[in-house]
Structure 1
């Protein structure tokens, strides 16, 4: 896939590629490469930190989850978001008050990072295009990702490309030690909790409806068979119908990438939306949540029905019950930790019983104490603001470490002289 991606990038930069970019006819997922390179010649970026995001609009939700912490980091150290797609850059500028530039050429990127004395480069995913920034040896490279889960991506061999990884808690370190070979997780992982959840809390309003409510939050269909965790097309319709038949209100929170790869998931999504509208609309039987903070949906729900995904760990601090689906695809694999083994699992064949199971767990939650004991293991200290503080402190420490290491390298190279 990376080889084909590089070949496509070369074609896009050709004369024909210029026309494709100009008329917005690029293939889905391909950055347009319309950069600010000429304007950036000889200039430097303000601040210590670059957030490198070469993706197109489809993946912007991954960066959006970090807006709150990045604003705080910008106040402390200065942050610039660097994109490879001008459309994505324009959207980010409209959404958050952070400096944003688009850089199309690898040479421009490498030079401006060095010229700016950039200390940290942060990444919110494992996009193969991240290698353009990873070439820079004058900065420390940190993987943030956009959630902590038992998905196989959490133990991807790609983690080795980054100097450090910020993880949620000890569970993530143990998961990597168990499933990833030749990687020193305790040395290269820094637990910071989930900083996006700290900033998300400020937007939450108190619950105003006491009807028993289930949050259904399936993940997307996945990029490979091994990561096909979504229940939407296999469980979703039967499960939501069962919840409604049981008299439970349903909040359906679709994943932003729903239906991007497999059309069947888009069709299931449409069917669920129609079902909730027919159940009363306006929130009577439930509603679709697309532009609300995740914590607002947590606050308004009594139980979550979700897949193997980061949302299960984020739900833990609520203390409320959960049901995790079991993927129908026999090729799917997970990086299981304690939460999967102790949570009720719902198979596709059992989806029509979801309502009975959910109501029983809402009224009688026998695993509550066991889940509460797992909170610190997965997330560390969840006192409001503590995760954001750990994130900012970790960035400060790594910036100082970078200065120490880079000075040593420059002294050694200066003493050696030119080759």
Structure 2
């Protein structure tokens, strides 16, 4: 019941649920204690409401969003406390003059907050740029500096809490019977609020000097003209970009190794904020009209990691070849979507991807499918490179619940919790890394997720891992230090809004990428070393990465997803969950990636026998099947995936240039001769890359 309630309220832990209940109780008690009246009780309940409210804002932001959905937002909570304070003063026989003063002060403060909100909104709208960049230098257009985080970020939460001196002063006056305390509190609250408004007003004047749309676009085109990008990665995924950014982040290192000059094009501001480390130029262009004004004459290949409606804004560029590269091979329908017919080519990892498209009969020609491997799998260690620890390490990485119950592929809901209990009885070490979207749609999935975390933490305590816990706490500051240095080298513009990040942006430094990779490896070394060889780990953040978890594991348990196809590269044993208890032959026939898998039934009765493949590697009958499946799903080891991917990009770029040259020659042959045709920038012709036309 508790876990289900946490899932419904979007609370991350039982501690969060306790604080949420305490917050609700304090807000309910405030008006009751005001009516009684009970001065001391009111003071305690009011203080609790402030403290728990602030704690929940910091630690449980999703719960605060849930409150707002029920019209219990910050302003309503502010008004409820103020109204209760007036009732308390009235019940304790405050004079009419002081009652009026309390009301007027709170009205004045609320009016100042409204003025502040208006200024903030105007500044924010003026600082919205048509194009946001990273690793390009737009210093020439002189973007004004953003207001400080204290004034600009989470401002309403801070301003509403400026009523604390006024409330404290009234309570002190009611207690002592001397209303000078109330006057001091009123003065402090009003002066602090006025000061905040005056400070923001300075930035309001500066915001008038923001560059125009035309200036921004022209400056971006000037920088792109100097860089001359030849291949673009294009990504769009609407309002949920933060959770789907793994789809583009997984391709960054591959892009950085191409012979062609890459550019990353994003369509949502959230995507830009959560883009990973890169020294490549990045442009975020939310509006289609602004995208159409980007000058990209040398881009010959456009890569698409996802299918989205806004892809059409780039697909209309006829001079380029458009390629769907996806974000991982799996047996889900998304990996063979009929929408893929709009692309010139579809790049898949291996023969399995080609066969998947041919089986669904979407009229996609065999020539349009190119096998390029999975370059991003290079960091995954092979089975023979792995050193086992004292306990078998099982990585449980379930997929999420999907957009509806009809396509729910996750094992979390039907068998996640009993499976973890069974694993704990087998005395193994568990690494639990759920999909980033787990629990976003289904309260049942959220509850199962929390239950698994509780089981693993409880078992850590049972194992008397106090020494390990001490090492983990001791390493926290070191990990934070390394993370801060990685963030500094990440290519991001630091804190601030999009305009501020663009103001600070400078060309990327490939040397910084080398140092970043060194720090990245050091972070993982410290993390795993301090966790020890027996402690379970719950991985909910970006670090440690999924592939680093692969390298720690002796075995994977997962659902039908691209995680399985990636893990196949390690050649280690893996398990697919068969939550519907399909007959083995039907399951193997339905899912290609099951070809090298052990199948786990819903009741987990097969688990002890499956774990033999780790404890006794000579009892691993699926090993030869995994070898064959790896070649089928991911392609051969030689040439490497990076070489195949790079070769495919170069070949397609050459073909695009050739087709453009042919179109140019056809234009030259039209009535009117070459003088009648306008030479397009970047297209072979009189000023093209092949020199003067003959």
Same fold at TM > 0.5: yes
- Which residue, out of 66, 69, 79, partners 2:262? 79
Q: Report whether the alignment pairs 1:318 with 2:540.
A: no
1:112-168: CA deviation from partner (whole Å, max 9, x where unpaired): 25x432111111111222222112111111111111111111111111121111100
**SS state of the match for residue 359, structure 1?**
helix
Match for 1:340 among 579, 594, 598?
Answer: 594
Aligned to 1:65: 250
Distance 2:441 2:418 in 1: 22
**Alpha carbons 1:53, 1:124 under 8 Å: kept:** yes
> Is the 2:380–2:551 contact (alpha carbons within 8 Å) kept by the matching residues of 1?
no
- What is the match of residue 623 of structure 2? 368
Q: Is the 8 A contact 2:379 2:547 kept in 1?
A: no
* Cα displacement (A) at 1:247: 0.7
The Cα of 1:261 is off from its aligned counterpart by 2.5
User: How far off its partner does 1:225 sit?
Assistant: 4.7
Q: Give the structure 2 partner of residue 35 of structure 1.
A: 131
CA distance in 2, matches of 1:98, 1:156: 30
Greater Cα radius of gyration, structure 1 or 2: 2
Deviation at 1:239, TM superposition (A): 0.7
Once residues 103 and 22 of structure 1 are traced to their aligned partners in structure 2, the CA distance between those partners, rounded to angstroms, is: 17
Matches within 5 A, 1:10-409: 35-36=131-132, 38=214, 39-41=216-218, 43=221, 45=224, 46=227, 47-55=229-237, 56-73=241-258, 76-92=259-275, 95-112=277-294, 115-184=296-365, 186-198=366-378, 207=387, 209-225=389-405, 227-280=407-460, 284-289=534-539, 290=541, 291-328=543-580, 336-340=590-594, 343-348=597-602, 350-351=603-604, 353=605, 355-362=607-614, 363=616, 364-382=619-637, 386-409=640-663
Cα gap change, 1:263/1:35 in structure 2, threshold over 3 Å: closer, same or farther?
Answer: farther
Deviates more, 1:277-286 or 1:171-180: 277-286
Q: How has the CA–CA distance of structure 1 residues 297 and 228 changed in structure 2, closer, same or farther, with 3 Å as cutoff?
A: same
The question of whether the paired residues in 2 share the 8 Å contact of 1:233 and 1:265 is answered with yes
1:54 positional shift: 2.1
The answer as to 2:593 corresponding to 1:410 is no
TM-aligned CA deviation for residue 20 of structure 1: 12
1:414 and 1:257 map into 2 onto residues whose CA distance is 54
Deviations 1:154-183 (A, max 9, x none): 111111121111100011101111123311
Asked if 1 retains the 8 angstrom alpha-carbon contact of 2:598 and 2:622, the reply is no
Deviation at 1:60, TM superposition (A): 0.6
Cα distance, 1:124–1:327 mapped onto 2, change above 3 Å = farther
Residue deviations 1:348-373 (CA, integer Å, cap 9, x gap) = 3x24x364243233232112112212
Q: TM-score, normalised by structure 1?
A: 0.82
SS in 1 for 2:257: helix
Unaligned stretches of 5+ residues in structure 2: 1-120, 133-212, 462-467, 469-530, 678-694
Q: CA 1:342/1:207 → structure 2, altered by over 3 Å: closer, same or farther?
A: closer
Q: Secondary structure at the match of 1:112?
A: coil
Which string of whole-angstrom CA distances, capped at 9 and with x for unpartnered residues, describes residues 243-281 of structure 1? Answer: 111111111111122122223222222221221111116
Which region of structure 1 is more displaced relative to structure 2, 101-110 or 206-215?
206-215
The whole-number CA distance in structure 2 between the counterparts of 1:335 and 1:405 is 42
Between the aligned partners of 2:652 and 2:298, the Cα distance in structure 1 is 14
Tell me how many residue pairs correspond in the alignment. 381
* Equivalent pair of 1:21/1:34 in contact (CA under 8 Å): no
Indicate the RMSD between aligned Cα atoms, in angstroms: 3.1
Gaps of 5+ in 1: 1-18, 24-31
Distance in structure 2 (CA, Å) of the matches to 1:370 and 1:359? 17
Structure 1 equivalent of residue 179 of structure 2: none
- Cα distance in structure 1, aligned partners of 2:606 and 2:455: 16
Quickly say closer, same or farther: Cα 1:119–1:398, change in 2 above 3 A.
same
The structure that is strand-richer by fraction is 1
Q: CA deviation at 1:69?
A: 0.5
**Alpha carbons of 1:248 and 1:95: their partners in 2 closer, same or farther (altered >3 Å)?**
same
Higher helix share: 2
Contact 2:236/2:306 (<8 A) preserved: no
Relative to 1, partners in 2 of residues 1:134 and 1:106: Cα closer, same or farther, differing over 3 Å?
same
